[in-house]
Chains A and B, each alone.
Chain A
Amino acid sequence: MSTITPDIRIQSADFDVAAEIAKLTKGRSDTGAVVTFTGLCRDEGGALSALELEHYPGMAEAEIRRIAQEAATRWPLTGITAIHRHGRIAPGENIVLVVASSTHRQAAFDAASFLMDFLKTRAPFWKKEHLASGEEGKWVDAKEADDDAAERWKQR
């Protein structure tokens, strides 16, 4: 049974991937694997000038924490961190970071993937597009593929 405390942060500022890895591994000798996932803003072939990330303050952190805690009960993790940015984010900039560490790699891979799949479908964030053309952008539609990705963890 895991006793780790997930480190969950919702912020407008950027994050430093190397610093977050160091934070999870520093001063311990039981970690054999660290998996990170970074989600970035893409420009959709030049069409986007930015994404605006709206979030539900309070619930955004609480919901990601619930998912991270579920991951920590399913896999023997030595640490798990999730950082999600909000506000205006330009193409090429970071949006989200997940870091999972464990004694062995499979648990770290699975936990990072699980956390991202549920974060996408359950964490209260919404993306609005800002178009390079200057025209009024639209809210990004949820993808069925994301629901399917989350669903696959229930069949295990």
Chain B
Amino acid sequence: MKLVYFSWIRERLDIAEEEAELPANVTTLGDLLSWQKSRGEEFATVFAHEKVVRVALNQEHADDPATSLEGVTEAAFFPPMTGG
């Protein structure tokens, strides 16, 4: 799965995008967020901000942890948006 990061989350992790092999037991959005927390100190710190980190799956907002990752090829992680 392609994982992309924006704004201070991108800077903090020092990753704009990456191709990741997800463990077989990561099947929902909630699983994906838990897995991210397990990937090291910076990931744990960033993803501890559960109310701040927003997610888009295949370029659409997703906020229900039960959302299935089936068919998802791209997941994005970013803070609340400040455009306009």
Contacts and interface: CB of A to CB of B under 8 A. Distances in A.
Interface of A: 39, 53-56, 58-60, 62-63, 84, 95-96, 116, 119-128, 139-142, 146
A124 B6 contact: yes
B56 A84 contact: no
Contacts of A95: 83-84
B83 A126 contact: yes
- Interface range on chain B (Cβ under 8 Å from partner): 10 to 19
B78 interface: yes
A54 B7 contact: yes
Contacts of A96: 83-84
Interface in B43-84: 56, 59-61, 76, 78-84
Given A54-B6, A54-B7, A139-B7, A123 B59 contact: no
Contact of B81 (A39, A58, A125): A125
B3 interface: no
B61 A127 contact: no
Nearest to A140: B82
B81 A121 contact: yes
Contacts of B56: 56, 59, 124
A56 B76 contact: yes
Nearest to B80: A142
B13 to A, nearest CB: 14
Contact of A123 (B6, B60, B76, B83): B83
Contact of B61 (A119, A122, A142): A122
B79 to A, nearest CB: 7
Given A56-B59, A59-B56, A59-B59, A120 B6 contact: no
Contacts of A39: 84
